[in-house]
Structures are given as structure tokens and as C-alpha cells.
Amino acid sequence: MVSFETPSIFNPASFEAGRIDALFRFILIVATLTFVLVEGLLFFAVWRFRNRPAEAAVQVHGNTKLEIAWTAAPAVILMVLLGFTFQTMGEVKAVTGGNVLHVKAIGHRWWWEFRYPDLQIVTANELVAPVNTVVEVAVESVDVEHGFWVPELFGKVDAVPGYTTRVRFTPTEIRNDYYGGQCTQFCGRQHAQMRFAVVVRSAAEFQNWAALMQRPEGGPEVVSGGAAAGRELFLTPTSQCIGCHTVADTTAVGVTGPNLTHLRSRGFIAGGVLANTPENLKAWVTNAPGFKPGTVMPSFANVFTPEQVNDLVAYLNTLR
């Protein structure tokens, strides 16, 4: 299993996550002071007015000033917190504006699809974004409700079937590792295995990546040997692959599973839980439900010979 850097809201790497972090810390301080004050008064009262055998307790009824004070003080505190919360919400709200990169994140049981409508890019598991650019993500779902969250970059939003939720983030830091994301709404058996990553790159690196992603599959002339046999098998309708997967400019136009056109350009497969290595591809293509019981991708263990799987993986390896 791939381990992303442990996601933390205390380690913000975008303007929006920075604002949320600041609000959280402010609320934490106010809440801590309130807690210490209230508990301190409680313990003081317990100690100061503890029962002593000789004394009868003083009987008091009502204290208007005190009651007004302990109603007004929390109300004022909550109003202040509400004010800062509204302010932060305004700052992080998705507003479609000028220089915005639009990305669609579509939840599937149990992986995330990423589409860049303006760039004609379709990929999975990894959202690549340029640093210091406003990225507006339109979050959707094709099946059940999912949750979309990268703690370092933006607040949690729901992916609701038939409805688009928008969230915006402006990454400010390029880190070597991935920003780890996780489905945060229980969505069935493989909910915990529904991860994704955000990769933040410099503007130039992002352009290179986009250009690579816009290239079509190389066509039959670029593959040979096992890969050519694998390509043929992959594109044969009876092998089923093309019913669920797309490879641009081939007869593979299925949309049930991840787009495989540039499969090998991604670090992970299977909803971010397996490193994208030839060995893992082989194991996955042989028996996907062995890794993720319940996935709609069937097991091919009794369908293909190991040689056929080798050929398929040789072909998948050419999808760069």
C-alpha cells in the first residue's frame, strides 16, 4: 500500500487551507481559554464551598446581573467566531474568475476521475496542478455520495450524484511528495481504498505534463512483440477491456473504469493504493477483486493465460 505523507490541516500549502488553518487556530485558542476559565471556576467553587460539618449552606435564589453576564458573554464570543467564520468562508469560496484552471473530479466506487475540460485531458487518481494558480474543482459523483478532501489544500466537500459542488484552492508550495487525498464519505466496501493525490508542479512542468496528456495513443506502429499482441487482445471486444476503459484514438471508449491513455504517467493505480509498477499491473489485471473485493473490474485469472496477461501488461507499459 502506498503511503502518502500523513495529511494534516496544520500543514497548509494553499492560500485557502492557510485561511482555514488560521481560523481553526483562532477558534482553538478561544475555546481553550473558555475551557480553562469555566473548569477553573468549577474547581474553585468545589474547593471553596466544600461542605464543612458545622456550616449550613447559604440559600440563594437568582442573581440577575450574573445571569445576564453568563448569557451575554458566550453570545458575544460566538458572534465573534461567527464573524471570522463568515469572513473565512468568503475567502475560500469558489468564485469563477479570470485565470482559473478548471478541473472536474468525479467520484466512482472506488476511484477518482479527473477531467480538465479546457485542456481535453482525462486522467485518474492524480490531480496535477500548477503552483500559484487558482484551481477550481467541480466535484461530482456517478454513483453514491463520496467525500473529496485534501487537508493541506482545501476543506472537505461532498460529491453528490446529480449535483456539482465547487471547491477552490490556490497551491502555494511545491512539495516533493504528493498531497494525499481520501474519500471521506462512507461509500461501500472499498471506501478506505479510495484515495487520490494532488501533484503541484511549476507552471513549466505543468505545461509539459499537459502536452504529454494531450498526445494520442501511439497507434499499432509503435508497439511490437508482446505489446503488439497485448494491444490486439486489449482491443478485442471479447476481452472486455474496451467496454470499461478508454484509450484515446482506439476503439476503447468505455467509461466505467479509469482512462488508460497515459496510464504509465501516473504514480498509482487502483484508487491510489498500488504503486504503478509492471508487477502491480500484472497482479491487478490478473485479479483486481483480489486487491479490492467488490470492484466492478472482474478477475481474469481464469480467462487469460499468464502469457496473455504479460502481453496485456507489455501493452499497458507503452501507454505513457
- In the complex with ligand HEC, the residue whose CB is nearer, 166 or 282, is 282
Question: Under rule CB under 5 A, which residues in 82-121 are in contact with Cu ion?
Answer: none
Contacts of 104 (CB under 8 A, 6+ apart): 113, 114, 115, 116, 117, 137, 138, 139, 140
Query: Which of residues 108, 115, 146, 266 is near Cu ion by CB under 5 A?
Result: 146
107 binds ligand HEC (CB under 6 A): no
Cα–Cα distance measured from residue 106 to residue 139, given in angstroms and rounded to the nearest whole number: 6
CB 125 within 8 A of CB 268: yes
Query: Which of residues 7, 18, 226, 243 is near ligand HEC by CB under 6 A?
Result: 243
199, β-bridge pairs: 128
**In this structure, what are the phi and psi dihedrals at residue 35, rounded to the nearest 5 degrees?**
-60, -50
What is the torsional sign of CA 248, 297, 108, 181? negative
Cα–Cα distance measured from residue 14 to residue 173, given in angstroms and rounded to the nearest whole number: 7
- In the complex with ligand HEC, the residue whose CB is nearer, 15 or 291, is 291
287 binds ligand HEC (CB under 6 A): no
CB 197 within 8 A of CB 152: no
Cα–Cα distance measured from residue 280 to residue 265, given in angstroms and rounded to the nearest whole number: 15
Q: Residue 183 touches which of Cu ion, ligand HEC, none (CB < 5 to 8 A by kind)? A: Cu ion
Cell, residue 31: 475555546
Q: How far is the CB of 197 from ligand HEC (least distance, A)?
A: 12
Q: Of 210, 230, 220, nearest to 308 (Cα)?
A: 230
Which ranges of the chain does DSSP label H, i.e. alpha helix? Answer: 15-48, 64-92, 203-214, 225-235, 241-244, 278-286, 288-291, 306-317
Q: Which part of the chain contacts ligand HEC (CB under 6 A), choosing from 16-24, 195-203, 218-226, 289-297?
A: 289-297
Q: Which part of the chain contacts Cu ion (CB under 5 A), choosing from 118-126, 145-153, 272-280, 299-307?
A: 145-153
Question: Under rule CB under 6 A, which residues in 246-275 are in contact with ligand HEC?
Answer: 256-258, 260, 263, 266, 269-271
Q: How far is the CB of 257 from ligand HEC (least distance, A)?
A: 3
Q: How far is the CB of 208 from ligand HEC (least distance, A)?
A: 20
299, β-bridge pairs: 287
Is the backbone peptide bond immediately before 149 cis, with ω within 30 degrees of 0? no
Q: Which part of the chain contacts ligand HEC (CB under 6 A), choosing from 25-33, 34-42, 161-169, 279-287?
A: 279-287
297 binds ligand HEC (CB under 6 A): yes
187 binds Cu ion (CB under 5 A): yes
Query: Which of residues 240, 287, 317, 318 is near ligand HEC by CB under 6 A?
Result: 240
Question: Under rule CB under 6 A, which residues in 113-142 are in contact with ligand HEC?
Answer: 124-125
Q: Which residues bind ligand HEC (CB under 6 A)?
A: 110-111, 124-125, 234, 239-241, 243-245, 256-258, 260, 263, 266, 269-271, 281, 284-285, 292, 295-298, 300, 312, 316
